[in-house]
Amino acid sequence: MKKHNFYAGPSILPQYTLDKTIEGIRDFAGSGLSVLEISHRSKEFVACMNDTISLVKELLEIPAGYQVIFLGGGASLQFAMVPMNLMVSKSAYLNTGEWASKALKEAKLYGEVVEVASSKASNFNYIPKNFSVPGDADYFHVTTNNTIYGTELKKEPDSKIPLVADMSSDIFSRSVDVSKYSLIYAGAQKNLAPAGVTLIIIKEDVLGKVTRPIPTMLDYRTHIKGESMFNTPPVFAIFAAQQTLTWLKGLGGVRAIQKKNIEKAALLYDEIDRNKLFVPTIKDPEDRSLMNICFVMADGYKELEKPFAEFAKSRGMLGIEGHRSVGGFRASTYNALPLESVRALVDAMRDFEKQN
């Protein structure tokens, strides 16, 4: 039976990436060595790093004045690195979920933090709007996609101060105007690569304004100067990222995958809205994530949650259980998930409805 991978992360990767990384484990770039054992200073891996950076710049149409670097530590390390490097005394945060809350908490270690708006009181089931950002803050931080609750900020917010975004779970899934941002960071384990590397896109002119001492390894300038090789980078994850980006380019790039993602999400949301057994956790279509589609059993059918989970699993659906903190269901429809898998989930939902 075919398995359909709806896990939120680490998550599904393109078959192309899996095949190419298997090849690279056996023989990397014709070197006769595995990518798992090759030196990061070898000409083969330096070429891989440079090509991966070029692909990021090409696919996201990154303008001049930006640097692309790869770091370890996941997006969670960026929660601290961002304020450490950018906050002189004050920052602003939009609180749209658990990861945004964690980023805000870390920022408080470095100065005053203004929470411009929050949807916490409503269990983060919408994206706040009509908020104002203090003009004297050093930067404004947003989390573009909320993996746990299923909301997504699909447009760049207006900001007269440097804009920073955690795009861990929707990077490369939709068109983004990078010029509106001073810094974008993203853990790779959703749409890019296996866990272990973090992508950073940073505008150079935002750096060098703080006076606090910054540990060498936590200073963005260290890694820009070292071309992501100040220390040994996550070689395998970067190689896998190169394969995923090559696959994405072959499909037609970000705009092409965005069309596919809209089609997949529409199919599933339409079924959730139609099916008597289910209700979406996010009511406003404008706020609904294209990457993490969350839903629960409707009133009167709560006792069917576990039976549906077991039924879906028997049909090959893996990873559709909601986050442990909220329950219900979550279907993550990242770039590599085929439309076929969404159709299979919709068929399972319809068949389960007929039985109940």
| Catalytic annotation, residues | 99, 166, 190
Between CA 244 and CA 332 the distance in angstroms is: 18
Beta strands, E only, 128-229:
140-143, 145-146, 151-152, 163-166, 183-187, 198-203
41 in Cβ contact with 226 (< 8 Å): no
292 in Cβ contact with 332 (< 8 Å): yes
How many CB atoms sit inside 10 A of residue 144's CB? 29
Between CA 3 and CA 280 the distance in angstroms is: 24
Q: How far is CA 186 from the centre of its chain?
A: 6
Give residue for tokens 């590599």: 336
231 in Cβ contact with 222 (< 8 Å): no
Collapsing DSSP states into helix, strand and coil, what is residue 355? helix
What residues are paired with 164 via a beta bridge?
A: 141, 183
Residue 23 CB partners (closer than 8 Å, separation 6+)? none
Q: Is 244 left (phi over 0), alpha (psi -120 to 50) or beta?
A: alpha
